[in-house]
Amino acid sequence: MTGVPIKVLVIDDEPPIRKLLRMGLGTQGYDILEASNGKIALELLAHQPALIILDLGLPDIQGHELLRIIRARNAHVPVVVLSSRGDEAGKVQALDLGADDYLTKPFGMEELLARMRAALRHQLQVQGERPVFHAGSLAVDLVRRIVKVGDKDVKLSPKEYELLRVLVQHAGKVLTHRFLLKELWDELTDAQYLRVYVRQLRQKIEPDPERPQFLLTETGIGYRLRAPD
């Protein structure tokens, strides 16, 4: 990593985890701020971290409530949740509250770094940095509404395009079924409609729809579009 170090706020009450992250992220050039509880974390928000790593099991403030407070103060800072809780309901709740991604302990440092890079790229997209999305052979021009895989134009139905547009605008981030249903229909629509359109979209953009490279399933939670290159 070159240039100005990216400031990362690590919120975790376990000293060994904070040490692991301090050493692992520090070697990659990240500037680490550490908070052992929610109170300290809220004070450190004044340092304007570029990304937050949040453990849900904190001693003073319930993790989901802290995430809600963080989002109220800063709607755009990427948040990657770390937790020993593997239940789908907890993951969905964190993502619906605005987390960009979710990793369950124990986790691999390389995977965490990849998720962090994806979350930071997603933030740039939200800020309008990429009118044309590229991931491998997939290209989506959000201005001209043109979709290509390699040199081949892909013709999508209006609803297929709207699904792809939402995924592109949040590329690299897990989008829950509830979020997508609310964006594309009215949230009361049966999730089967979403699965049908995901399957149709994969048939058109994936080299092998049975082994998707771009539109990935987060089992029981939702979908993630591969982060841009």
Give the separation between CA 110 and CA 108, rounded to whole angstroms.
6
* 184 neighbors 159 (Cβ within 8 angstroms): yes
* 83 neighbors 55 (Cβ within 8 angstroms): yes
Q: Sheet containing 7-11: which strands, arranged edge to edge?
A: 31-35, 7-11, 51-55, 79-83, 101-104
Q: What per-residue confidence (pLDDT) applies to 3?
A: 44
Give the separation between CA 148 and CA 38, rounded to whole angstroms.
45
Neighbours of 214 (CB within 10 A): 20
Give the rounded distance of the alpha carbon of 29 from its chain centre.
21
- List, as one string, the DSSP characters of the chain: --SSPPEEEEE-S-HHHHHHHHHHHHTTTPEEEEESSHHHHHHHGGG--SEEEEES--SSS-HHHHHHHHHHH-SSS-EEEEES---HHHHHHHHHTT-SEEEESS--HHHHHHHHHHHHHHHHHHTT--SEEEETTEEEETTTTEEEETTEE----HHHHHHHHHHHHTTTS-EEHHHHHHHHS-S-S-HHHHHHHHHHHHHHH-SSTTS-SSEEEETTTEEEEPPP-
Letter for the amino acid at 206?
A: E
Q: What per-residue confidence (pLDDT) applies to 110?
A: 93
The upper half-sphere exposure of residue 152, i.e. CA atoms within 13 Å in the direction of its Cβ, equals 10
- At 7-61, the pLDDT tens digits run 999 999 999 999 999 999 999 889 999 999 999 999 999 998 989 999 998 999 9
The residue-averaged pLDDT of 184-198 equals: 83
Contacts of residue 106, Cβ cutoff 8 Å, sequence gap at least 6: none
Structural domains of the chain ordered from first start: 7-126 (3.40.50.2300), 132-225 (1.10.10.10)
* 164 neighbors 213 (Cβ within 8 angstroms): no
* 120 neighbors 8 (Cβ within 8 angstroms): no
Q: What per-residue confidence (pLDDT) applies to 2?
A: 39
The residue-averaged pLDDT of 186-205 equals: 88
Q: What per-residue confidence (pLDDT) applies to 213?
A: 95
- At 139-174, the pLDDT tens digits run 998 767 889 999 999 999 988 999 999 999 888 899
- At 62-104, the pLDDT tens digits run 999 999 999 999 888 999 998 876 677 888 899 999 999 999 8
The structure's pTM equals 0.70
